[in-house]
Amino acid sequence: MRRSRADGDEDFTVFATQASDRLYRSAYLLTTSHAAAEDLLQTTLVKAFSGWRRVRATDDPVAYAHRILLNTFLSERRLRRSGELAVADLPEIGPADAVSGSGLSEEVAERLALAEALRQLSALDRAVVVLRFWHDHSVAVTAAELDLTEAAVKNRTSRALSRLRDLLADDHPIPRSTR
Amino acid sequence: MNDHTDHSDHSDIADRLDRAVAGLRTPDVLPQVLAVGRRRRAQRRVVQGVGGIAAASVLAISAHAFADGRSPATPSVAADPAAPTDASRSAGPAVGAASSTAPDQCPSGPERGWWSASHREVADRLAALLPDGVRLGTEERRSAGVAGLWSGDVLTNGTTDADFLQIELLPPPGTPAPLQSLQVVLDDLADPDGCPAEPNEPAQRIAPCEASAEPASCEEIRSEDGDLVGVATRSVQGTGSDPRATVVRATFAVPGGGYVQLYVSTGTPSDRPDTPVDPADTPAITPADAAAIVRDPVWIR
């Protein structure tokens, strides 16, 4: 039976509600900014809504939405890099970060330190780190997602991790866990 | 040799990434997504309807150049929403797909009506209807210039508190929403959905308050004949232990079809997601205010 567009809209609303948390967090790690992450989330969901039948028909709509998000991020970074405006990404502190007289909360301070470190990486290196270590993708999957060779993913991973460790060594060092 | 590509050696990085985002509160972008998405779908149908890719190219080139402030370039067109949007990676197959769509399958353009009031008109009317002491603040970039829609901050005089507000004029069922101004996005010009009628369903269904257990506050809007023609509610998003924001919604069914719908939230882009939610904070617009705004005849004149 042919489903109506209204049914599809309801499906989409449910999907967006369930997927938004993970999409937003991924967007934050990629953009390192709340405002940019919100923008990226919104653009991603608008694209998913526009092509909802196609998205819904895939085996994994959430994974498909992540691909939209990733490609949008990389496309926008490319456009910005080739454009006339060179806008520096400034560290972002939300209003709540400064409310306490004793300074930033540990959680927020750690987040800002990581965001600042990630910001020092190229967009593609950042994407590699996020896919490999937050999405827990294999080298092969990461390579396919980013249209890179596996060797390129390994090289970028090595370079990015080395840089991250240097950047985070003094300020909020990465604790050694045994996860 | 220390192989930095060995995932098992880097659980510390994974932990750090997890912790960094664990406390993030996701902004509620759904009202804007639905409003912008509807217009984008309508735009896609219009582009198909006006004669295929030739017209689309003209529209895309002019809009793209206008939006970016640079010289017209080859438009990027991709049927796949997951496809990259830059010209270097967008391929041509979607052009063929768009061309193959029979132009007369789709509406040739949006019917105009009260719902196609210009963006400026919507903002001016809304500003005039706000309660005393409340005014419009910064507008959301994504809604700028979009007909039948305004979204952004509302400010309460004498305080630094801002709320997010969106008002949307929804056309009658089957009528395409007004065009998205010049923010033309042709990523998915080839519509895999064909041209089904746009239902233009409101985000909040109009039902008697007694039938809705969730809202903390609910007001019915009734016509002079006593018919239920709208509803205004206030509710808290999230759970009791993790309140996200207090939200006021109002929906009014316009005689003859279509809706005026209003969404107000205590969270704004500038104070989320790090700002702790104050459950006692309520939007500057009450459900009664919201009901008065959406049912005002100024929207359908």
Residues B145 and B183: beta-carbon distance below 8 Å: yes
Q: Sorting pLDDT into bands at 50, 70 and 90, what band is A88?
A: very low
Task: Tell me what pLDDT residue B26 has.
Answer: 83
Pick among A49, A64, A104 to test the B interface (most B CBs inside 10 A): A49
Q: How far apart are CA A161 and CA A140, in angstroms?
A: 18
Tell me, what DSSP letter sits at residue A26? H
Overall size of chain A counted in residues: 179
* ipTM surpasses 0.90: no
In B, minimum Cα distance to A135 occurs at B14
| Strongest mean pLDDT among B45-49, B76-80, B100-104, B245-249 | B245-249
Angle of helix B119-129 relative to helix B287-294, nearest 10 degrees?
130
In B, minimum Cα distance to A165 occurs at B13
Would the pLDDT of B274 be above 60?
no
Q: Note whether B199 contacts A24, CB cutoff 8 Å.
A: no
| Facing B12 at nearest CB: one of A96, A153, A174 | A174
Would the pLDDT of A104 be above 50?
yes
What rounded mean pLDDT belongs to chain A? 79
Pick among B1, B2, B6, B13 to test the A interface (most A CBs inside 10 A): B13
pLDDT 10s digits, B234-245: 887 765 555 567
Amino acid at A101: G
Task: Tell me what pLDDT residue B187 has.
Answer: 42
Q: Note whether A158 contacts B18, CB cutoff 8 Å.
A: no
Task: Tell me what pLDDT residue B178 has.
Answer: 64
The residue among B26 and B107 whose pLDDT is bigger is: B26
Task: Tell me what pLDDT residue B288 has.
Answer: 94
Q: Note whether B192 contacts A28, CB cutoff 8 Å.
A: no
| Facing A49 at nearest CB: one of B18, B33, B196 | B33
In B, minimum Cα distance to A126 occurs at B17
Q: Note whether B27 contacts A115, CB cutoff 8 Å.
A: no
Would the pLDDT of B292 be above 60?
yes
CB pairs under 8 A between A and B: 182
Q: Note whether B84 contacts A138, CB cutoff 8 Å.
A: no
Q: Sorting pLDDT into bands at 50, 70 and 90, what band is B22?
A: confident
pLDDT 10s digits, B222-261: 999 999 999 999 887 765 555 567 889 999 999 989 999 9
pLDDT 10s digits, B178-198: 654 433 344 444 444 445 556
Of B161, B39, B7, B25, which Cα lies nearest the Cα of B110?
B39
> Which residues on B lie below 8 Å from A162 (Cβ)?
4
Return the number of other C-beta atoms located less than 10 Å from residue B8's C-beta. Answer: 7
> Which residues on B lie below 8 Å from A52 (Cβ)?
193
3-state secondary structure of A9: helix
Residues B281 and B161: beta-carbon distance below 8 Å: yes
CA distances from B110 to B74, B87, B115 (A): 26, 28, 11
What predicted TM-score, i.e. pTM, was given to this entire model?
Answer: 0.63
Q: Note whether B88 contacts A78, CB cutoff 8 Å.
A: yes
Cα A94–Cα A133–Cα A172 angle in degrees, nearest 5: 50
The residue among B66 and B220 whose pLDDT is bigger is: B220
| Facing A139 at nearest CB: one of B5, B80, B82 | B5
3-state secondary structure chain B: CCCCCCHHHHHHHHHHHHHHHHCCCCCCCHHHHHHHHHHHHHHHHHHHHCCCHHHHHHHHHHHHHHHHCCCCCCCCCCCCCCCCCCCCCCCCHHHHHHHHCCHHHCCCCCCCCHHHCCHHHHHHHHHHHCCCCEEEEEECHHHCCCCCEEEEEEEECCCCCEEEEEEEEECCCCCCCCCCCCCCCCCCCCCCCCCCCCCCCCCCCCCCHHHCCCCCEEEEEECCCCCEEEEEEEEEEECCCCEEEEEEEEEEECCCCCEEEEEEECCCHHHCCCCCCCCCCCCCCCHHHHHHHHCCHHHHC
Task: Tell me what pLDDT residue A155 has.
Answer: 93
How far off is chain A from B145, nearest CA to CA, in Å?
17
pLDDT 10s digits, A22-80: 999 999 999 998 888 988 999 999 999 988 888 888 889 999 999 999 999 988 765 55
Q: How far apart are CA B66 and CA B181, in angstroms?
A: 11
> Which residues on A lie below 8 Å from B84 (Cβ)?
71-72, 74-75
Q: How far apart are CA B1 and CA B266, in angstroms?
A: 54
The residue among A63 and B75 whose pLDDT is bigger is: A63
Strand ordering across the sheet containing B162-170: B134-139, B149-156, B162-170, B259-265, B243-253, B228-238, B217-222
| % of chain A with per-residue pLDDT over 90 | 51
Q: Note whether B192 contacts A25, CB cutoff 8 Å.
A: no
Would the pLDDT of B110 be above 70?
no
How far off is chain B from A125, nearest CA to CA, in Å?
13
The set of residues, in sequence order, having a beta carbon less than 8 Å from that of A70 and lying 6+ positions away, is A26, A30, A127, A131, A145, A146
Would the pLDDT of A179 be above 50?
no
> Which residues on A lie below 8 Å from B86 (Cβ)?
75, 78-79
CA distances from A108 to A98, B132, B298 (A): 10, 37, 46
How far off is chain A from B298, nearest CA to CA, in Å?
28
The residue among B140 and A100 whose pLDDT is bigger is: B140
> Which residues on B lie below 8 Å from A157 (Cβ)?
4-5
